[in-house]
Amino acid sequence: QVQFVESGGGLVQPGGSLRLSCSVSGDPMNRIIMGWYRQVPGQRELVASMSATGFTWLLDSVKGRFIISRDNAKKIVYLQMDKVTPEDTAIYYCNKVPSDARYWGQGTQVTVSS
């Protein structure tokens, strides 16, 4: 059974950093595109994605601030978040790209506030 478990969220001040982790179980992961999504009012948007071969995509608003990476052997996907702003406040989730509704986890809350 495929499962994604997010961790690493918390309260951070504007301009600070966080690293989110997504632990993957039940899927070889080395053939799929993985992504980080965030729930904002009205929608769940894709923030960053990374293919098995290393191709990355980033939402325009996080370019230059966020980095996505993955360790296929450990089955973990990371999201390094730097220079965060209050607009980054959201629940962050990982999932395949395109997302699979069966595999949404609990997410991890990121709150950017002074």
Q: Which pLDDT score is estimated for 77?
A: 96
How large is the C-alpha radius of gyration of the chain? 13
Q: Which pLDDT score is estimated for 70?
A: 93
31-52 pLDDT, tens per residue? 889 999 999 888 999 999 999 8
Q: Identity (one letter) of the amino acid at 3? A: Q
Flag residues of the chain having pLDDT under 50.
Answer: none
Token pair listed for 39: 């729930």
